[in-house]
């Protein structure tokens, strides 16, 4: 096994200029992450220098067998924390051979919104709080929980320290450092309210890059849990009962919100979100009705609300934002399994482009 480990960690830079590019895309379920690797003749720093590639869409639920070719368009490059050196991770989106985005390509529509002059002028910032649950591989039960049983009630686990409170910290820290190495703008991590559940934050990121960075951070986490022999869940309510669910709270601001008088802009934006509450909820993740119950730091899924420092509201405004009269707000409705391309672009579209 030591020889295998040596070969896995082999530094290629002394023997060849060639590099390995891992192309990453989103599969047919909208949440499954796929990837495959190819050799390139030398280092690459811009996605436009990378070749397009194809894959069998009939094996990912994205094309029929009789016309199965789907084309990958490279969109963003990150350093590869697994192979290291000049090797790279490449975030791609998917198109038909005729150049049309396939139905599961949510990045294409998001990019159109972020490239709109009114949106780009506002320089939208996002900070996404990605919650997730680590599960025992064979029984799909949270790590640290007794098999067939339950731990003590919630309370000591949030940001907890100790062998009986924090389960999986080695995975979490490995992911944190791997994201920093890759160039993901990861801003922090913490243990969550339910034991075995954790959170990482990506941002502040501008526009479409928020989605790119969250997807590659999810990919890196999937790879690390694969190595650790632990299952990863983005289910918004992995355990029924008196346990917190998992969300992807999305913090948001525009240039106008960050400038003097921004609090009034924020309140108008929140009012727009209220008008389109049902539309947003429909796009904010599968199974979210199991999470948004009005309990466990959530608002009821059918009722829009907002408040200052209120974690039981649909939208929360921070005390500092209220005090300074400018800043950002937090949309607490997105589920942990949401598509960040959909959520970030929809918030921008509603608050900047939509004219009620």
* pLDDT tens column, 268-295: 999 999 999 999 999 999 999 999 999 9
Predicted pLDDT at 21: 98
pLDDT band of 227, cuts 50, 70, 90: very high
Asked if pLDDT for residue 1 goes beyond 70, the answer is no
Predicted pLDDT at 14: 87
Asked whether the beta carbons of 145 and 195 are under 8 A apart, the reply is yes
Mean of pLDDT values over 120-124: 98
Q: How far apart are CA 334 and CA 149, in angstroms?
A: 29
Mean of pLDDT values over 294-301: 92
Q: In DSSP terms, which residues pair with 159 in a beta bridge?
A: none
Both tokens of 221, joined, read: 């986490």
Peptide bond into 204 cis (omega under 30): yes
187: CB partners within 8 A, 6+ apart? 127, 201, 202, 203, 204
Asked whether the beta carbons of 282 and 302 are under 8 A apart, the reply is no
Mean of pLDDT values over 209-224: 98
pLDDT per residue as tens digits for the range 239-267: 999 999 999 999 999 999 999 999 999 99
Q: In DSSP terms, which residues pair with 44 in a beta bridge?
A: none
Q: How far apart are CA 309 and CA 48, in angstroms?
A: 43
Predicted pLDDT at 250: 98
Using a 10 angstrom Cβ sphere, with 0-12 exposed, 13-18 middle and 19 or more buried, the burial of residue 276 is middle
> Can you give the pTM of this predicted structure?
0.96
Asked if pLDDT for residue 223 goes beyond 80, the answer is yes
Q: How far apart are CA 320 and CA 314, in angstroms?
A: 19
pLDDT per residue as tens digits for the range 96-108: 999 999 999 999 9
Closest CA to 337 of 208, 215, 216: 215
pLDDT band of 13, cuts 50, 70, 90: confident
Count, residues in the chain: 356
pLDDT per residue as tens digits for the range 70-87: 999 999 999 999 999 999
Both tokens of 57, joined, read: 């869409």
Q: Taking the CA atoms of the chain, what radius of gyration do you get in angstroms?
A: 21
pLDDT per residue as tens digits for the range 14-72: 899 999 999 999 999 999 999 999 999 999 999 999 999 999 999 999 999 899 999 99
Buried b (16+ CB within 10 A) or exposed e, 174-210: bbbebbeebbbbbeebebbbbbbbbbbbbbbbebbbb
Mean of pLDDT values over 318-346: 97
240: CB partners within 8 A, 6+ apart? 290
Q: How far apart are CA 87 and CA 109, in angstroms?
A: 29
What are the chain's domains? 2-104 (3.10.20.70), 117-353 (3.30.590.10)
Beta-strand ranges (E) seen in the chain are 19-26, 33-40, 53-56, 69-79, 88-95, 125-136, 186-191, 197-206, 230-233, 248-253, 306-308, 315-317, 329-331
Give the neighbor-by-neighbor strand order of the sheet with 69-79: 33-40, 19-26, 88-95, 69-79, 53-56
Closest CA to 281 of 311, 303, 265: 303
Mean of pLDDT values over 297-322: 94
Predicted pLDDT at 16: 95
pLDDT per residue as tens digits for the range 123-158: 999 999 999 999 999 999 999 999 989 999 999 999
Q: How far apart are CA 193 and CA 238, in angstroms?
A: 13
CA 355 to chain centre: 28
Q: How far apart are CA 264 and CA 258, in angstroms?
A: 11
80: CB partners within 8 A, 6+ apart? 20, 22, 87, 88, 89, 182
């Amino acid at each position: 096994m030591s020889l295998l480990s040596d070969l896995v960690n082999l530094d290629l830079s002394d023997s060849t200029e060639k590099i390995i590019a891992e192309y990453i895309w989103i599969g047919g379920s909208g949440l499954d992450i796929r990837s495959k690797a190819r050799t390139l003749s030398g280092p690459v720093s811009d996605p436009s220098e990378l070749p397009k590639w194809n894959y069998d869409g009939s094996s990912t639920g994205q094309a029929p067998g009789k016309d199965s070719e789907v084309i990958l368009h490279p969109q963003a490059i990150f350093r590869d924390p697994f192979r290291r050196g000049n090797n790279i991770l490449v975030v791609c989106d998917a198109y038909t051979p005729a150049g049309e985005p396939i139905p599961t390509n949510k990045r294409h529509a998001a990019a159109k919104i972020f490239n709109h002059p009114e949106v780009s002028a506002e320089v939208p910032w996002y900070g996404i709080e990605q919650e997730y649950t680590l599960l025992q591989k064979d029984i799909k039960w949270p790590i640290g929980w007794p098999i067939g049983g339950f731990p003590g009630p919630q309370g000591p686990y949030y940001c907890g320290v100790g062998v009986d409170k924090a389960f999986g910290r080695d995975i979490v820290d490995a992911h944190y450092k791997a994201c920093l190495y890759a160039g993901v703008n990861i801003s922090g991590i913490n243990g969550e309210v339910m034991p075995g559940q954790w959170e990482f934050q990506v941002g502040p990121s501008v526009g479409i890059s928020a989605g790119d960075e969250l997807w590659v951070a999810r990919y890196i986490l999937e790879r690390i849990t694969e190595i650790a022999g632990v299952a990863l869940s983005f289910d918004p309510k992995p355990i029924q009962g008196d346990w917190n669910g998992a969300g992807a709270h999305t913090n948001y601001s525009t240039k106008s919100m960050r400038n003097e008088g921004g609090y009034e802009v924020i309140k108008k934006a929140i009012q727009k979100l209220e008008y389109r509450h049902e539309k947003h909820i429909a796009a904010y993740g599968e199974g979210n009705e199991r999470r948004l119950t009005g309990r466990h730091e959530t608002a009821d899924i059918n009722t829009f609300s907002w408040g200052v420092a209120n974690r039981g509201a649909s939208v929360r405004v921070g005390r500092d934002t209220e005090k300074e009269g400018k800043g950002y707000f937090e949309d607490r409705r997105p589920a942990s399994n949401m598509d960040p391309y959909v959520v970030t672009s929809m918030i921008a579209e509603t608050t900047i482009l939509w004219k009620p």
